């Protein structure tokens, strides 16, 4: 059994409309909610073995704040392909992983993350900014992950509900 954590980046700023979407930073709320999720990860023993993230500035900043608060000490891999990605891009990134990683977190954007959750579990769940979903995957090897995998949502944490 593998565990996939799906974390949507924290709330981003639209203050500077001249910035390309990829370069938008977190806003004040985002800078508060990302550490909140890091604390949750630490307190609820949700620590991943590996983090895969979009290269977008807001995703990168979310990862940094989550790491700082959670105490995560593992690797983080940033992929341009995960910026504004469809579910297939996440699945492709995951299927190439070593099976030594039991618990992996992906950090990215909607609508791709909500679609990924639905593809892997059949559940249509909203993932507002900084939301974290935990998915149990009935696979032993990441290479076996596909759109036909029938995972199960075990929990979803949304910052406003914590």
Over the stretch 61-84, which tens digit does the pLDDT of each residue have?
A: 999 999 999 999 999 999 999 999
Q: Tell me what pLDDT residue 80 has.
A: 96
Cis peptide preceding 74, ω within 30 of 0: no
Q: Tell me what pLDDT residue 72 has.
A: 98
Over the stretch 143-153, which tens digit does the pLDDT of each residue have?
A: 999 999 999 99
Nearest to 127 by CA among 2, 1, 7, 3: 7
Rounded Cα distance, 5 and 131, in Å: 10
Is residue 6 within 8 A of residue 123, CB to CB? The reply is no
Q: Is the pLDDT of residue 19 over 90?
A: no
Map out the domains of the chain as residue ranges.
2-12+21-161
**Torsion angle of the four alpha carbons 78, 135, 42, 140, in this order, in degrees rounded to the nearest 10:** -80
Mean pLDDT of 82-93: 97
Nearest to 1 by CA among 123, 107, 103, 153: 103
pTM above 0.85, yes or no: yes
Q: Tell me what pLDDT residue 7 has.
A: 98
How many residues belong to the chain? 162
Is beta strand 50-54 parallel, antiparallel or unpaired with respect to 103-108?
Answer: parallel
Overall fold of domain 2-12+21-161? Rossmann fold (3.40.50)
Give the chain's mean pLDDT: 97
Rounded Cα distance, 104 and 151, in Å: 14
The whole-angstrom distance between residue 96's C-alpha and the CA centroid of its chain comes to 17
């Amino acid at each position: 059994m593998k565990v996939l954590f799906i974390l949507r980046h924290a709330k981003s700023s639209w203050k500077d409309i001249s910035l390309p979407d990829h370069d938008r930073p977190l806003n004040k709320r985002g800078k508060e909610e990302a550490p909140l999720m890091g604390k949750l990860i630490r307190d609820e023993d949700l620590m991943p073995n590996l983090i895969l993230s979009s290269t977008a500035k807001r995703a990168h900043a979310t990862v940094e704040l989550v790491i700082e608060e959670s105490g995560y000490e593992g690797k983080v891999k940033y992929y341009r392909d995960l910026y504004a990605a469809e579910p297939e891009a996440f699945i492709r990134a995951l299927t190439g992983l070593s099976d030594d990683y039991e618990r992996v977190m992906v950090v990215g954007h909607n609508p791709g993350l909500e679609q990924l959750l639905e593809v892997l579990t059949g559940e249509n769940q909203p993932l507002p900014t900084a939301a974290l979903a935990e998915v149990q995957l009935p696979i032993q090897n990441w290479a076996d992950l596909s759109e036909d995998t029938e995972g199960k949502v075990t929990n979803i944490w949304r910052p406003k509900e914590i």
